[in-house]
Structure 1
Amino acid sequence: MSRYAVVTLGFTRPVYAHELRPGDVFVFPDAPSTALIVADIEESVLSPELALLTLTLHGRTEPMHLPANTPIRPLRMVRTVSMTCLLCHKDQEAELDLPRDGEPLSLVCADHVPEADEDANPGPGEEIE
């Protein structure tokens, strides 16, 4: 397994429906206890100011239609980000669950992260005890 250290910033920025991808889990701010899992997304651009999304959701028979700029609260948004190591400038990909791990700021690749026990060297979003 490739080890690396990523410095992140808490994921507090607004998120809109157009940022969703299949596999993401989200809630609407007004319905925080109803988690929805995205299976598929189709976008229809009606004008430069208006795009509509058709979301196919797991466990729902009918698709959901909403404007692309609808605010949502993500519970799971796994993204692979490409970053450059601060020390050797080597490119590295890191997989982060943005709401849990945060937005990536910087990375130190495995060449500079000392080998340690799994418990002593936490992954992104985990704390050292």
Structure 2
Amino acid sequence: MRKSLCTLLTIGCLAFTGSALAASNDYREPVSSTVSVSFSDSSSTFRPGPTNAVLLEAARDASLVTINGRTSTTRPSKRDERLALARAVSARDYLVAQGVSPLKIMINYVSAADFVADNGTPEGRYLNQRVDIQMIYVPMY
């Protein structure tokens, strides 16, 4: 059994690194999709807009879902770390209520990092106060 598992892992790694096996179309590569949802100042209430809600319906079929909670602060603090975690947990709770298995969901959170916009404007801070939900789909063979 162990040898078979090692063989499968080796073949899987070759398929995902762009080797000749992957080029022969014997294997399909995983597909990833990311949805970002922003939060109001100090809020941890997850409210995806209608477009994002439709996109997140596909999370039920994902093999793995990672949720990254973020804040717009420029210095990390315990308060902001708790807020980033609360945002990620709120998104997870939403997805579980929509039928996504909690066993597929991983959470990551950090404050004062991973900015996607300029924090010098209200619009930029709003975009940085977010969760990024990455859905990874692994094809079945």
TM-score range for the pair, normalised by the shorter chain length? under 0.3
Return the TM-score normalized by structure 2.
0.23
Return the TM-score normalized by structure 1.
0.24
Structure with more relative contact order (C-alpha pairs < 8 Å, separation 6 or more): 2
Query: When you count strand as a share of all residues, which structure comes out higher?
Result: 1
